[in-house]
Copies of this chain bind each other. A is one copy, B any other.
């Protein structure tokens, strides 16, 4: 009963411009860690949370516990599991914090049970957890679990597609010292969009997928536009437009809001270009009175793994 499994699940950038709710990519180093142990009493309990003050220990409200319990149910195993959750990710930053906790817990629980489920089968338990706090969408969960760049074609049934990533690309994430609850960021979404905007989103997403496959970075840059979600959320984040513009001006292929924000990401041709974009983006936030931290990452990063 003393075995413990420690799992790290990475932060993720979702949406990536035209991929609202369906496209996400894993980031290096940033993420959450969960330790899972067998417990004598059935069910899932959270023993301790470090790195965050605001998260509930209540297993019905915490995404790590919800995902672990859903994993047990899906595996058809009645067991007792105790979790430690070590938050490495700020909450409400647009980097898939709740998803990383859910993924780390689901994967650790599955390993603890002897891996009754294959890794992709853990997406559904993690979606249940996401649905409890941020709505049922898979663009953070899938890349945090599987790594790399993932397109979520469908949630019912779950159907995810790994996309190729052109060599050498660097991700930049700049997170301002500013709180934007996911609830508020989702409240500004339109219920309906013009058919022309629908067609435009699909065209840009299709072109982005084509660019990933062919390595055409010019096409990737042209395709990374979004006129449905980004303009509305940019109004909620001081300096967002200036930060995106600064990234592009510094040579980024594309830049937009990461998930629900307030983090802004950029995709750059090289690590050096990423450094330049990161500096420009931090300066642009500073000009709007916000301190910000920048994080660089290769674009092709692994997903959840035992550590």
Contacts and interface: CB of A to CB of B under 8 A. Distances in A.
Given A153-B222, A210-B209, A197 B199 contact: no
B22 A199 contact: yes
Nearest to A193: B198
B161 A219 contact: yes
Interface string A143-167: 0000000011110000101011000
Interface string A215-238: 000010011000010000000000
A172 B169 CA distance: 40
Interface in A179-206: 189-195, 197-206
A132 interface: no
A205 to B, nearest CB: 4
A22 B151 contact: no
A23 interface: yes
Nearest to A216: B161
Contacts of A191: 194-195
A5 B184 CA distance: 62
Contacts of A192: 192-195
A170 to B, nearest CB: 23
Given A191-B194, A210-B161, A210-B213, A22 B153 contact: no
A197 B198 contact: yes
25 contacts: A18-B202, A20-B199, A20-B202, A22-B202, A151-B207, A153-B207, A153-B222, A159-B222, A161-B206, A161-B211, A161-B219, A189-B195, A190-B195, A191-B195, A192-B192, A192-B194, A193-B195, A193-B198, A198-B228, A202-B206, A203-B205, A205-B206, A206-B208, A209-B210, A209-B213
